[in-house]
Amino acid sequence: MSKIKPSQGAPYARIMGVGGYRPTRVVPNEVILETIDSSDEWIRSRSGIATRHWASEEETVAAMSVEASGKAIADAGITPSQIGAVIVSTVSHFKQTPAIATEIAHKVGAGKPAAFDISAGCAGFGYGLTLAKGMIVEGSAEYVLVIGVERLSDLTDLSDRATAFLFGDGAGAVIVGPSKVPAIGPTVWGSEGDKSDTIKQTVAWDTFHAERPEKFPAITQEGQAVFRWAVFEMAKVAQQALDAAGIAPQDLDVFIPHQANMRIIDSMVKTLKLPEHVTVARDVETTGNTSAASIPLAMERLLATGQAKSGDTALVIGFGAGLVYAATVVTLP
């Protein structure tokens, strides 16, 4: 007989508030064309991207996260001191330790919460959301701040014709809290490590330290392989998430996929056979691919513009380097 007292958590968890931050500098395709042999038409037709945001020196990973978090906390109607954990998904915080989550927790006034970073690429927000849900149901936190944040401009090779136009910077945050009814569905997640070379950092930090190559490490990817995997395999994962939540495509109000590429988004909509009434996030056109930040940023924009509303049922799915993925159905705050 165990002597450990059972955890006293909430029956369920839900997203209670959302916030986003986009850097002030807007970068059109014309700027990208200064360093690669391409055209605005080619970039738009291949990716759907017209502009992206790049951070200034002052718009650090922590600074953008604090701005997004403040909006999410206010939107949720809680105080920072009520936050029991801070989870940050990022691949562009360049210190191995300490986790940037600790600095962010302090700057938002969260007191002494659990604070840690996760590295799951473009699926990171889904991973963080799932961890937060577990914490609340298990009872180790009442409210959890989940942040997806990237400064991918720091990891972009502007001479690489395949990726120079893809990436942007920004931060998105949500507050996850207790719920009396199910509002975050089961997560379908996983990885395909045999394909890990299709999206990767060009040079490992230890190699960079030892050999000091001329070029700073950057993100590279095999575009066609990633496109095929995202369109065909991730549509299956999205369907599994719908099935796990007991939701049919016609029951959805909103679809918020990772904002990787407009062609991927449109192909997934077609493969999933989503009805015309489903609002589809296409934030990639003006924000670019912001990796872990893309889903909460897109969610925040849909709610702010009235394209989605509180209580809507949304399918969210992230996928990226690793290759990793995470999909779930949520009720929007």
Please identify every residue annotated as catalytic.
122, 258, 289
CB distance 85 to 140 below 8 Å? yes
Residues in Cβ contact with 227 at an 8 Å cutoff, skipping those fewer than 6 apart: 261, 263, 264
CB distance 298 to 18 below 8 Å? no
State phi, psi for 14 to the nearest 5 degrees. -150, 160
Residue 151 CA to residue 290 CA, distance in Å, equals 8
In sequence order, the β-bridge partners of residue 245 are none
Residue 260 CA to residue 226 CA, distance in Å, equals 10
Report the number of secondary-structure helices (H) and strands (E) in the chain.
11, 14
CB distance 279 to 253 below 8 Å? yes
Distances (CA, A) of 159 to 33, 162, 164: 10, 9, 7
Tell me which amino acid residue 227 is: F
Tell me which amino acid residue 94 is: F
